[in-house]
Amino acid sequence: MALANFFAMSSFGSFFLFPLFISERGGSKADIGIMMGAFALSSVLCRPYISQMVDRIGRKRSYSIGCLIMACLPLVYLWFQGELSGFYLPLLLVRLVHGVGLAICFTAAFTYIVDVIPPSRLNEGIGMFGVTGLLALGVGPLIAEIIVRDFGFNMFFVSASVLGAAGLVLHQPLPESYLKSDGTDVPSFFSVLFQRRTFVVASLSLLFGFGLAASGGFVAPFAKENHLTFVSLYYLSYSSAAIVTRVFGGKFADRVGEERILPYALTLTALGLWLLIVLWGDSTLLVSGLLSGCGHGFLFPCLNALVIRDQPIHIRGKVTGVFTGSIDTGAFAGSILLGYIGESAGYGALFFVAGLSLLAGLAIYPRQPTRT
């Protein structure tokens, strides 16, 4: 599953360069926000149904459906040529469907992993599995940048399709981790959402997603506007820092408790975004990526472990759906709002607001429920 996750997430990560496609075809910062936000919007709207599907038909089968979408949808982008205004609505529709594929992959994969990880090593296991995704978020944009520069966007979309297809093939030998029995009484998605612990973690995850929208949707065009030559340096440093944090920090988080880690992780991620306000060159991209990546490396597994710990296996799809759906909700809201902020007040204001949203999580943190 880890290897399949690497290829599926590489396909997703390559689309961090998609804002360049939009701007090259006459799109504005607001258009970038809308197109990147549409991807997250579909993930949010369909998450209750995806969560039900993962608990009903199984994690592996659901993941296969998601990978099939990730393999096929990039090829549809090949039809979009010319000015953005000539295919705006069809492209928006494709972005919506593409987002459903990622949402299925994300929810099914992390639910599968939680099923097979020993409870005492939850942070460590989630973190180590997530390393493959973080590697992909570094490798994907790097491959995409090279392909776009040397071969153009058509080959970029083909390569993204191949990566998604690799994820589809590689997970097929895995056994199913859970299948619902007919007599199991399963609560609804929204009843799970409004459990106290789940709701608080969902709120923190939403703020995390809002900050991620700045990293995923606006760093590339911001760097290009400032004539920086190696945009993927940010994503390489980001993913490298997050990987190191997960490899060496997972056991530490399991030992001291994820609740103690969260405020520091939120602060680090915010500082990384704020550093972009005073962009001095490629070195600033490097340090910003390191700070935000370190924060991300702790935030994702700690929030995931906190919300899923001690949950019954038959609702883990829904719990994971709440968690990942909250991140997507924040990413959607961030893509739209930050796009308009960037359009009206510039990139400095955009990154300031994104960092501030993460620090807002510190106001929620004192009310954070413990793992018991």
Give per-residue pLDDT as tens, 225-274: 877 767 778 888 887 888 888 888 777 777 877 788 888 899 999 999 99
Biggest CA-to-CA distance, the chain: 61
Cβ atoms 73, 65 nearer than 8 A: no
pLDDT of 79 = 92
pLDDT at 184: 58
Give Cα separations from 155 to 4, 151, 247, 291, 308 (angstroms).
22, 6, 34, 32, 40
Least confident residue range of 62-66, 88-92, 343-347, 361-365: 361-365
Give the least confident one: 139-148, 189-198, 285-294. Answer: 189-198
Note the pLDDT of residue 372: 41
- The pLDDT of residue 254: 78
Question: Is the pLDDT higher at 157 or at 39?
Answer: 157
Residue 284's alpha-carbon distances to 110, 213, 216, in angstroms, are 33, 19, 17
Residue 327, both tokens: 């991140």
Angstrom distance (rounded) from CA 243 to CA 241: 5
For the cut 70, the answer to whether the pLDDT of residue 369 exceeds it is no
Helix residue ranges per DSSP H, 257-315: 258-275, 282-308
CA atoms of 264 and 248, how far apart (whole Å): 16
Judged on CB neighbours under 10 Å (0-12, 13-18, 19+), 85 is exposed
Question: What dihedral angle (degrees, nearest 10) is formed by the CA atoms of 74, 78, 79, 82?
Answer: 120
Q: Higher confidence at residue 251 or residue 16?
A: 16
Superfamily in which the 2-174+189-367 domain is placed by CATH: MFS general substrate transporter like domains (1.20.1250.20)
> What percentage of the chain has pLDDT greater than the value 70?
95
DSSP summary character for residue 201: H
Contacts of 80 (CB under 8 A, 6+ apart): 87, 90, 91
Q: Is the pLDDT of residue 2 over 50?
A: yes
The confidence band for 371, taking pLDDT boundaries of 50, 70 and 90, is very low
Highest-scoring range by mean pLDDT, 26-40, 171-185, 275-289, 347-361: 347-361
Find all residues with CB under 8 Å of 273, minimum gap 6, and list them: 211, 214, 215, 288, 292, 351, 354, 355, 358
Task: Give the residue carrying structure tokens 């400095």.
Answer: 348
Whether the pLDDT of residue 30 is over 90: the answer is no
pLDDT for residue 368: 47
Summarised one tens digit per residue, pLDDT across range 177-188 is: 776 655 556 677
Residue 272 in tokens: 């990384």
pTM recorded for the entire structure: 0.75
Tens of pLDDT, residue by residue over 262-305, are 888 999 999 999 998 887 777 888 899 999 999 988 898 889 88
Q: What is the pLDDT of residues 67-120, one digit of tens each?
A: 999 999 999 999 998 888 889 999 999 999 999 999 899 889 988 888 888 877
